[in-house]
Structure formats: structure tokens, C-alpha cells
Amino acid sequence: MIEKIDLSLVDWSRAQFALTAFYHWFFIPITIGLTYMVAIMNTIYVKTGSEEWKRITKFWMTLFGINFAIGVATGIIMEFEFGTNWSYYSWFVGDIFGAPLAIEGIMAFFLESTFIAVMFFGWGRVSKQFHLLSSWLVAFGASLSALWILVANGWMQDPVGMTFNLDTARNEMTDFWAVLFSPIAINKFLHTIASGFVIASLFVVAVCAWYLLKKRDLVFAKKSMIVGAIFGLISSLFLAFTGDGSAYWVAQKQPVKLAAMEGLYNGKTDAGLVAIGVLNPKKKIGNNENEFLFKVEIPKMLSLLAYRSSKAFVPGINDFVNGNEEYNVEPTLSRIDKGKKALNALITYKKAVKESNTSLAEESEKVFRENYRYMGYGYFKNPKDVIPNVPFIFYSFHVMVMLGFYFIGLFLLILFLLFKDKIQKYKWLLRIGIFSFPLGYLASQTGWIVAEVGRQPWVIQDLMPTMVATSRLQTTSVMITFWLFVALFTSLLIAEIKIMLTQIKLGPESKKGGSNV
């Protein structure tokens, strides 16, 4: 079962997944968020009957459509890639992981695709109320699909509701509700869709700011901006709230990730939260260098946020590597040992079953069950190998958090000036409004880095290392498809951006969706 794995294959498989996920996530936040704003605008239109709001709804709907198409295009790859590039993973956890994906298809994708057709082609063909209902159903469908895929992702971070079946050599679901309502999954879902809402709001604000700077379509721009800023403010507050929840659950379930997020090597009680810091590049696990060249800390905050008590002990990276008896942290070598016991017990079990040796089978199953929790560690030799890349996670986390707070301030300020009807005078703020849109992506992509790179080397926390999960392909095959994806997705992205910009320049007055004819 333990075989030599070509690491370049693993790296290329990861690179391809990261690339396709990165592109997919470029479009999905706007889909998730803008669809709600379109539904809100459509509601105002149906309530007031105002032609202005109809125009506003249609304009944003057009931009939504351009973005939606490419979101779908980049999404189909994601679903099948689990099979194409992570074949061993697909069997090892398919019994649990496959279900949310199928449910996503049956419950969410059909809802989205059916009612999106009504939303786009239903104007004048169906009643206003049915059309409005359709736009809300699209919004609901988009969030529902996010729910299922994030439940699947949450389960990888904290595998619950399952047992390992030695005969089939895989994990099998025993409690669907535990998988669905796992706190990690629910927090992840809420935090992720909130980030989508914020990015979409930043998009709306940026487009409107551009109109205001150009002194055109003023009424349209201000009205849309109000929707964007209010939606953005509420979402960014919710984002901070769910961010706190996510960090709390990371502390409970993935403490190594938390240590990396904070650059914490030596665990301590009354741990402070690093607000801003520069890591010492010379710091390595096991040496005596200082962790930081410079840092500003909020005292006791980390203990408080992570364990809801300012006095709590927060374990650091060294505690995981070497163990900490006082606080009951098991050394990694001991986990590695248990992991090897589990793997060997599985091999013995298989042999015993083949030879019909019942007592040996029972005995090895017992050993396996005792050590199963750490099965994935059995693939490693060096304790340092189970620690993620600290600087990458640390900086990603801090960039994300800082930007998160920045967005709250930005939406507040914009909203204040909108209600005072003075926003046009503040050209610098309008310019900041435009340039903050890419910052939204920076924040959410760094967030994904924290979540996904932060859990390395695991694809399933503690159970399956990423390197074991890949399909056994030739590295060149993956390289070929990787570069094809780069070429195709990049061209489509450029096309999307150019179409989007042209459409924005044409503005809400243009008819026929900006087509050439």
C-alpha cells in the first residue's frame, strides 16, 4: 500500500487543481453575490413599477450573465478533476464526498439553470411575479450549490460522520447530518458566501464609482451604489463574524494551521494576536532564532479568540513537532508511529482475510481501529513534513484579515457620503472604490490559501496525505492539460474582462445586450 510516489506528479496535480480553482473562484463570488443584488433590484422594480429600476435590474443582469457563463465553464472541470487527478482520493472518501456533489447537481444546478433561463428570457413572456420569483430562485440556487460543495470541503478539513471499512479500504458515511451540520462546514459555507457577497458589492461599487467619476448615468449609478454599499456593509460585518467562527473552529480541529496563521512556534498561555508582523526569514523549526523581526500584538487576544478564554494555552508549531506533555499535545513521532501501526494492521488484516485467519483478522482490526485516527501520519518519516509553509500562511492570513476590516470602513464611508449626497465631490474616494475591487479578490484568494495550503500536507486531515491521493498518471500528461488550461482559461478570462468593460462603457442606456448586430 505504501509505494514510491512521484512527487513531481503530485506537484503538477496540485498546480492544476489550484489553477482551475483559482480561475473558478474568479467568477463565482460575483455570481453568488450579484444574483442577490439583481433579485433585490428586481424586487424594488416590481414593488414600485419604476422604469428606472427595471433598467437598473436589466443592466446588472447583463453583467451577471457574462460572468455566469464563464463561472459555469470553469466549474465543470472542478467536479470531474476529483476523478481525473485524484483517483485514489475519490475511492478513499467517495462514499462521503460524492454525495454532496451529486446533491449539488440535483438540487442546485438545475434550479439555477432553469430559472436563469426564465430570468433572462422571461421579460414580457412570464408574469412580473414569476419573473421576480425566478431571480430569487437563481440566487437561492447559487447559494445552495455553494453549500454542498463547501460541506464537502469542510469535511476534508474535519472528517466526521464516518467509519473506515477495512474490507473496502475506504471511509464510509455513517451519519449524513453530522457531515452536513459539521460546524467547520457550516462556518466555511457562511464565511465563503459572505466573501462572495462582499466581492460582488465591491464590483457594483467600483462600476458605479466609475460612472460618477465620468459624470454619466448619475441617478442610475447612485441608486445602484446604495444597493451595493448597503449589501456590502452588511456582508462585510457578517464576514468578520463568520471569520471569527472559522478561526475558532480551526483552533479546535486544525491547531497546526492556526499556529501557522499566527507564526506561533512556541505555544503559550495568554497568547497575543499578531496584528501586524514581519517574520524572521531565518527562523526554521528547531533553531533558536526569533520568530519575528517586528510585530504589533494585541495582548491575550489569540487565546481569547481561539479558545474563548484569555488564559487558554495556544499550542505552537514546536509543540506539535516535539510534543508538550503539560498541555497534552502528542509529539508527531508518536503519531507517525501510530499511523504506521494502522497501515500495517490494514495490510495484515487483508492478508488474514485472504487466508481465512479469523483471529488474526480480528486482532489486526483492533490494532487498526486504535490507531486509525493518525493513519495518514504513517506515510511520513520526518515530523517537520507535517507542518505547512508558515510564511505563506501567515502573510496570506494577515492580508485577508486586514482587507476584511478595510472593506467595512470603505462601505461605511461610501454609504455615509451617499446619504449625504456628497459622494461625487470625493473623487479620491471614488478612485479608491474602483481600485478596491481587485483587493476583494486578493482577500478571498488569500483566504483560500489559508484554508487549503494551510491544511497541507493533508488532503483529508490526519487521514490522507495529498501525495497519496493522486491518480497514477505520467507527469507529462498532467503538464499537458495544465498548460492547456492556462491557455484556454486565460484567453476566456481576457475575453470576459473585455466584454465586461465594453458593456460597462456602453452603460445602462444600451439595448440588446451590447451585441454587434
- Taking alpha carbons only, the member of 299, 262, 256, 255 closest to residue 277 is 262
Question: Exactly one of 288, 328, 359, 515 binds another protein (CB under 8 A); which one?
Answer: 515
Q: Which three cell numbers stand for residue 91?
A: 475511492
Question: Exactly one of 11, 44, 94, 307 binds another protein (CB under 8 A); which one?
Answer: 94
- Regarding 18 and contact with another protein (CB under 8 A), the answer is no
Distance CA 20, CA 13 (A): 11
Nearer to another protein, 68 or 379 (CB): 68
Positions of E strands within 369-465: 458-460, 464-465
Question: Exactly one of 244, 286, 502, 509 binds another protein (CB under 8 A); which one?
Answer: 502
Question: Exactly one of 280, 369, 499, 507 binds another protein (CB under 8 A); which one?
Answer: 499
What is the footprint of another protein within residues 349-368 (CB under 8 A)?
Answer: 350, 354
CA 243 to chain centre: 12
Query: Which residues fall within 8 angstroms of residue 2, CB to CB, at 6 or more apart?
Result: 343, 378, 379
Q: How far is the CB of 253 from another protein (least distance, A)?
A: 23
- The angle at the Cα of 46, spanning 45 to 51, to the nearest 5 degrees, equals 40
Q: How far is the CB of 443 from another protein (least distance, A)?
A: 26
Nearer to another protein, 94 or 391 (CB): 94
Window of 36-44, 76-84, 318-326, 391-399 that interacts with another protein by CB under 8 A:
76-84
Which DSSP string do the residues of 227-256 spell out, in sequence order?
A: HHHHHHHHHHHHHHHHHHHHHHHHHHH-HH
Window of 74-82, 209-217, 272-280, 298-306 that interacts with another protein by CB under 8 A:
74-82
Question: Exactly one of 17, 25, 59, 82 binds another protein (CB under 8 A); which one?
Answer: 82
Binding to another protein by CB under 8 A, coded x per residue (else -) over 109-128, reads xxx-xxxxxx-xxxxxxx--
b or e along 202-240 (b: 16 or more beta carbons within 10 Å of the residue's beta carbon)? bbbbbbbbbbbeeeebeebbbbbbbbbbbbbbebbbbbb
Tell me if 353 sits within 8 A of 221, measured CB to CB: no
Q: Is the dihedral of CA 98, 110, 16, 392 positive or negative?
A: negative
Residue 431 in 3-state DSSP? helix
- Regarding 509 and contact with another protein (CB under 8 A), the answer is no
Nearer to another protein, 24 or 257 (CB): 24
Q: How far is the CB of 204 from another protein (least distance, A)?
A: 20
- Regarding 8 and contact with another protein (CB under 8 A), the answer is no
Tell me if 277 sits within 8 A of 294, measured CB to CB: yes
Beta strands 458-460; 464-465: pairing state: antiparallel
What is the footprint of another protein within residues 135-194 (CB under 8 A)?
Answer: 165, 168-170, 172-174, 176
Number of residues that bind another protein (CB under 8 A): 95
- Taking alpha carbons only, the member of 168, 13, 2, 10 closest to residue 480 is 13
Question: Exactly one of 12, 25, 53, 97 binds another protein (CB under 8 A); which one?
Answer: 97
What is the footprint of another protein within residues 324-353 (CB under 8 A)?
Answer: 346, 350
Tell me if 424 sits within 8 A of 249, measured CB to CB: no
What is the footprint of another protein within residues 433-492 (CB under 8 A)?
Answer: 471-474, 477, 481, 484, 488, 491-492
Window of 238-246, 285-293, 391-399, 504-512 that interacts with another protein by CB under 8 A:
504-512
Nearer to another protein, 133 or 449 (CB): 133
Distance CA 95, CA 170 (A): 8
Question: Exactly one of 70, 193, 264, 386 binds another protein (CB under 8 A); which one?
Answer: 70
Question: Exactly one of 43, 84, 269, 322 binds another protein (CB under 8 A); which one?
Answer: 84
Distance CA 365, CA 368 (A): 5
Question: Exactly one of 49, 105, 286, 299 binds another protein (CB under 8 A); which one?
Answer: 105
Nearer to another protein, 68 or 437 (CB): 68
> H or E element: which one contains 81?
helix 51-85
Nearer to another protein, 118 or 273 (CB): 118
Q: What is the 3-state secondary structure (H, E, C) of 153-180?
A: HHHHHCCCCEEEECCCCEEEECCHHHHH
- Regarding 379 and contact with another protein (CB under 8 A), the answer is no
Nearer to another protein, 66 or 410 (CB): 66
Q: How far is the CB of 49 from another protein (least distance, A)?
A: 18
Query: Which residues fall within 8 angstroms of residue 375, CB to CB, at 6 or more apart?
Result: 164, 339, 342, 343, 462, 463, 464
Question: Exactly one of 11, 95, 270, 297 binds another protein (CB under 8 A); which one?
Answer: 95
Query: Which residues fall within 8 angstroms of residue 96, CB to CB, at 6 or more apart?
Result: 155, 159, 161, 162, 171, 172, 173, 179
- The angle at the Cα of 364, spanning 363 to 368, to the nearest 5 degrees, equals 125
What is the footprint of another protein within residues 235-264 (CB under 8 A)?
Answer: none
Question: Exactly one of 24, 58, 257, 335 binds another protein (CB under 8 A); which one?
Answer: 58
Question: Exactly one of 5, 69, 178, 479 binds another protein (CB under 8 A); which one?
Answer: 69
